[in-house]
A and B are shown apart, each in its own frame.
Chain A
Amino acid sequence: MADCEFCSIVHGDFDSEEIYSDDKLLAVMHLKPAAAGHILLFTKEHHSILEQVPDDIVGHAFSVANKISSAIFESLGVQGTNIIVENGTAAGQQIPHFSMHIVPRTENDGLKLDWKPKHVSDDDNDVALFQLKHEAEGISASIHTAHEAHGGHAEHSEQHDQAEHKPQAVPKVLDKNDYRMKQVRRIP
């Protein structure tokens, strides 16, 4: 898209601190970070909001976000990460090109990314439940059909990402001193 900031980065018209690239996704350092190491991951193709991104690319994006998040944990020695999608201007999205924020977190870093619980009446809750259930009805079938059509699941994104053929960096059984186990123990 013509004057889209992220498209300019993809086309190389705009300098960036690139950290990851494959044929679908690009990740760069945020130049005005919420915390040191804040990364933006976005699709190379222009899609305004999450709902317009094809399913297989969405899945691939979450998978890459997790890898970047793990790399942040291990390289910066932080105590946590947030992965956030601001979807629509109402959610604070400023650039009309789908992106994911990966934000390193430490205790007492001063970031206020939580929220206060809001009281919702039982009636309102039941109505919301009904509306959402109704809208969600076809989801399972549609995902299933998409997988079938691809002749299996997600092999599409595996084709171009060598990394996906490697065993996950995360072993099934974690060592006691592994930072992930420490994280688990910290959660009361």
Chain B
Amino acid sequence: MSEMPEAQRRALMEKLEKMSPEELREFQKKQCIFCQISSNKVKSKKVYEDEKVFAVLDINPASKGHLLVLPKEHYAILPQVPEEEIKHLGIVTKQLSQAVLRGLKVHGTTIFIANGTAAGQRAQHFMMHIIPREEHDNIGIVLPQKKVKESEITDIRELIQAKLNEQLGIKKEIIKGHKEHSAPEKADVHEPAEEAKPKKQKQEKKSTKKKTAEKEDSVSLDDIAGLFNG
């Protein structure tokens, strides 16, 4: 939009301003490069595709093999994506991260979601990034650790939690770690499904379960998980 003459730019801004949210979304959809990639109108290097989501190589990658995972439907930001699709996107992202670790033999991945321009979102189509990582790759994305007063953290926690509980329709007792249902899916967990257990209830070791997972994940995942001990 920056190359447009001023008058034309202003007219467009006015038009956008007058649009209803539905019209705006339709307008965005038509302009959206990722919608065109999704429908194969624009060429891309697609790595994965199913009914709901697809993944392509980023044309401006942070590193070789940088993937974008997107819903086929046009959503601008994460809160607009329906819950089932968010879950599916998450699972596909996990599986593709595994494909990155194995296929490219890298030692880590950064999963990155930006919601809003302030967070670095550039496209109008929601996406998740999978960035292949190596030690000392200088890619950045480092979260600084700031010192903050405990009382400040408590104040902010209360603010966010009040809103979250309102959204979830949960009463205050969740603060105390109220457990709703324990799904008794693991035979080796001594944890009968009962409600309102004290928070301190110890979960027994699930080493069996973990071992199986590691076994089927073979070499690279073991190596990567093992790096912590080294």
Compute how far the CA of A73 lies from the CA of B79 in the bound complex, rounded to whole angstroms.
10
Answer whether A89 and B227 are a contact pair too, CB < 8 Å, given A11-B203, A32-B147.
yes
Asked if B168 CB lies within 8 Å of chain A CBs, one says: yes
Separation in Å of the A35 CB from the closest CB of chain B? Answer: 8
Answer whether A48 and B141 are a contact pair too, CB < 8 Å, given A61-B90, A74-B163, A80-B114.
no
Cβ–Cβ contact A55 & B91, under 8 A = yes
Separation in Å of the A88 CB from the closest CB of chain B? Answer: 3
> What is the predominant secondary structure among interface residues of chain A facing chain B?
mixed
Give the bracket for the number of chain B residues in contact with chain A. 35 or more
Asked if A149 CB lies within 8 Å of chain B CBs, one says: no
Mask, A153-180, CB within 8 Å of B = 1, is 1101101111110101110011110101
Compute how far the CA of A23 lies from the CA of B196 in the bound complex, rounded to whole angstroms.
11
Asked if B187 CB lies within 8 Å of chain A CBs, one says: no
**Nearest B residue (CB) for A164:** B83
| Contact of A128 (CB < 8 Å), options: B64, B80, B141 | B64
Mask, B39-74, CB within 8 Å of A = 1, is 000000101111000010100111111010000000
**Nearest B residue (CB) for A90:** B108
Answer whether A125 and B64 are a contact pair too, CB < 8 Å, given A79-B118, A106-B118, A187-B121.
yes
Q: Which residues of chain B are near A113, meaning CB under 8 Å?
A: 112, 119-120, 140-141, 143
Compute how far the CA of A12 lies from the CA of B148 in the bound complex, rounded to whole angstroms.
22
Mask, B143-157, CB within 8 Å of A = 1, is 111111010111011
Q: Which residues of chain B are near A21, meaning CB under 8 Å?
A: 174, 177-179
Q: B residues bordering A, Cβ < 8 Å?
A: 1, 16, 20-22, 24-25, 28, 45, 47-50, 55, 57, 60-65, 67, 76-84, 86-104, 106-124, 131, 133-135, 137, 139-148, 150, 152-154, 156-157, 159-164, 167-170, 174-175, 177-183, 185, 199-200, 202-203, 206, 210, 213-214, 217, 221, 224-225, 227-229
Q: A residues bordering B, Cβ < 8 Å?
A: 10-12, 17-24, 29, 31-39, 44-55, 58-63, 66-76, 78-93, 96, 101, 103, 105-107, 109, 111-118, 120, 124-125, 128-129, 131-136, 139-140, 142-143, 153-154, 156-157, 159-164, 166, 168-170, 173-176, 178, 180-181, 183-188
